[in-house]
Amino acid sequence: MINNKELLFCVDENNNPIKPSPRQLVHSTGIWHRTSHIWIVNNKKEILCQRRSLLKDKAPGLWEGFFGGHIPPQVSYLDHAITELEEEVGLKVLKEDLKEAFVYKLARGKEFVGVFVLNWNGDETKLKLEPDEVDRVKWIPIQDLKNNLDNKDGTWSVMGYEDKLFKLL
């Protein structure tokens, strides 16, 4: 469930920490804040994609190639990524399991996004999905995902950094 009063890790336009603010205020007034995105890739070069819950306040029901969310105050990108994976899909990972790809400045959402990659070859049907966050998941080959994102048919959430990430994969 979305908690509009939860405090977010707020930053200035250069990603320097400032006073935390409630989620609703951050989004309504355009305060810069931090998020984490975790891309799960298997050895077959497929990406575990999610359909966002219809309960989400932003982009409900859209597909994404990553998991993640807003970072609370005083929490690192990496620590938050670990927490998000456990909360959203029940995956327990260690810090060394995640590879930091980059931090992306997303002007559209006033977010600094810590982007991580996890290599995981598990069975997606065994994941414990958080229904308030994730509706369903499925593996998609990287090239098919690129095509889906390029189609711009309104069913996929596009962040703008995907090409940069795909080059690293």
Contacts of residue 165, defined as CB under 8 A and 6 or more positions apart, other chains included, come to: 39, 101, 115, 117
Q: Closest Cα to residue 159, out of 106, 122, 117?
A: 106
Mean pLDDT across the chain: 94
pLDDT greater than 90 at residue 3: no
What pLDDT is stored for residue 58 in this prediction?
A: 82
pLDDT of 2 reads 61
Q: Is residue 96 assigned to a domain?
A: yes
Identify whether 2 is part of a domain. Answer: no
Q: pLDDT digit string (tens) for 50-88?
A: 999 998 878 899 999 999 999 999 999 999 999 999 999
Instruction: Please tell me the predicted confidence (pLDDT) of residue 4.
Output: 60
User: How many domains would you assign to the chain?
Assistant: 1
pLDDT band at 42 (very low <50, low <70, confident <90, very high): very high
The mean pLDDT of 27-44, rounded to a whole number, is 97
Containing structural domain, residue 118: 7-168
The verdict on residue 155 lying in a domain is yes
How far is residue 20's CA from residue 26's CA, in Å, rounded to a whole number? 9
- Strand residues in the chain grouped as ranges (E): 7-8, 21-22, 33-41, 46-52, 63-64, 67-70, 98-106, 111-119, 134-141
Decide if 77 is inside a domain. yes
Q: Which two tokens stand for residue 148?
A: 């889906």
Which neighbouring-strand residues pair with 46? 141
Q: In percent, how much of the chain has pLDDT > 90?
A: 88
Q: How far apart are CA 159 and CA 125, in angstroms?
A: 26
pLDDT-based confidence at 151, cuts 50/70/90? confident
Q: How many CB atoms lie within 10 A of CB 80?
A: 22
What is the model's pTM?
Answer: 0.94
Q: Is residue 1 part of a domain?
A: no
At 41, which CATH number?
A: 3.90.79.10
